Amino acid sequence: MRSSRSSSSGDLFAENVASDQAIEQSQDKPQGNYQWVALSVTTVGALLASMQGSALLIALPDIMAELHASFFTIMWVLMGYLLVLTVLTPVIGRLADIWGRKRLYNSGFVIFTIGSLLAGIAQPSFHGADMIIGRLIQGLGAALLVTNSTVIVTDAFRKGQIGLGLGINQIAGAAGFLLGPIVGGLLTEVSWRWVFLFNVPIGVFGAIWAIKRLREPVGGMAHSHIDWLGSVTLMIGLTGVLLALTMLAFPMLPEPVIIAILGVGIIGLVLFGIFEPRIAEPIVQLRLFTNRLFTLANLSGLLNGIARGAVLFLLIFFLQGPYGQDPLTAGLMLTPFGAAFLVIGPLSGRLSDRVGSRLLAPIGLAISAVGLLALSTVTASTPFWLLAVYMALMGGGSGFFVSPNTNAIMGSVEPHTRGAAAGILNMLNNTGQMLSIAIVFPLALKDVPQDAMMQVFIYGGGMSKFPSALNLFMNGLHTALLASFALSIVAMIVAALRPAH
């Protein structure tokens, strides 16, 4: 029996090595125009997911008012999406290696479109609960799109051009973020429902385009079995821990129930840690973490996510509250961040193809940290041009970091494990964002009355009607941004420890 199992493992290893060699050989050869075709498909997916996020921020006041939803319900409209996206990305990444990137990516368009339709027809009688369900389905679709897009671009581009491809793919995400407030503002003038329904024709087009033009990489898929035990324990563990931490920040259940959920999550992660190393073909390839570059690049990405994930939400509150702007104007004022990210991302990606990420990643995080430190000094009287410079520093630094860091992670693994690597990458990035919202966000709002937060969100500029809350919010904002600055410095140090590649 042992000999048979060993032989099977050896055959599996040989097949995967052959697959890797076929993919790598194909990447050394001219690709024709397929790399740009593949990039056009992933661009549609990136635009769809990123535009939805920033457009939704603009529509939230109208959604809260029409659905009679509480502030905490609206936070779960945001957080539920992130939770599903975070929990499922490692599983989807591994499934992409086994079942194929194209099949899962195509289904992502379909599922995201269905979720958008359900969110767009949410009814006031449910007070936002049905919208949360739609957003959870959107999160599943987004997980399929986001995880596979990184792998599809990496597979399609030749060696020496992968950073360029990832950088351009990053442009689509930044462009979606920039267009979101404008599109969201225009659509909300008709009805907030169109912020979701607008996705339906785009999703249908994206699905058709992907079905017609995408192809699986030369060499086929990894020959493997699905690790159901690892998948279930990981999903239970991540869901329990992240759900509990989020509920502690935005309570919806009694504290003993939240502690019980946290306990279940911890048990799930412990069981995952016990069983996963013993699985022949695990859902999360823990051996990837023996690669120092892979580990340090992912750790710096996680820390950057915690540092930066909540900042844009905090700025929305600042702009609508102390700065006295309406939701649409507040969204447009975030443009310097997205514009800098959009311009710098592809340039740093292209540069990383030539010089690697060892120098670029720490420099990007240092620039971002300077922007965060500068933002921690803003007041209601800070001129917008200065605020724009601070946001551009943060956005440009982030763009300077993300493309080289992603290039380093995806370039440090074998082709047949790229799906798993992308799953880990996106899981840690999204975990960072969730932890940021659950930890950093409450630092700014912990002393602000809920009625003041509701007023700011629904009417904009409403904090002027709560003068006592103004100082409390500004003090909390400065504390939160200083905490983000400190985390960015730690991320910079971790990024600097990576080996050259």
Count Cα atoms within 13 angstroms, Cβ side, for 213: 19
Which DSSP state fits 192?
T
Axis-axis angle for helices 360-375, 292-308 (nearest 10): 10
CATH 1.20.1250.20 range(s) for the chain read 27-227+281-496
Per-residue pLDDT tens over the stretch 116-138: 999 999 999 998 999 999 999 99
Q: pTM of this prediction? A: 0.80
- Which fold is adopted by the domain 27-227+281-496? Growth Hormone; Chain: A; (1.20.1250)
Axis-axis angle for helices 71-99, 418-435 (nearest 10): 170
The one-letter code for the residue type at 238 is L
Per-residue pLDDT tens over the stretch 80-121: 888 898 888 888 877 887 888 888 999 999 999 999 999 999
* Residue 492: pLDDT over 80: yes
Give the span between the Cα atoms of 456 and 475, in whole angstroms.
17
- Average pLDDT of span 51-68: 84
- Identify which has the larger pLDDT, 304 or 92: 304
Q: Which of 210, 34, 158, 155 is nearest to 418 (CA)?
A: 155
Of the listed ranges 354-363, 365-374, 468-477, the one predicted with least confidence: 468-477
Sorted by sequence, the CB contacts under 8 Å of residue 278 that are 6+ apart come out as: none
Judged by DSSP in three states, 171 sits in: helix
Q: Which of 347, 342, 341 is nearest to 367 (CA)?
A: 341
Per-residue pLDDT tens over the stretch 321-365: 788 787 778 878 888 988 898 888 888 888 888 887 888 999 999
Give the span between the Cα atoms of 259 and 263, in whole angstroms.
6
Report pLDDT for 362.
Answer: 94
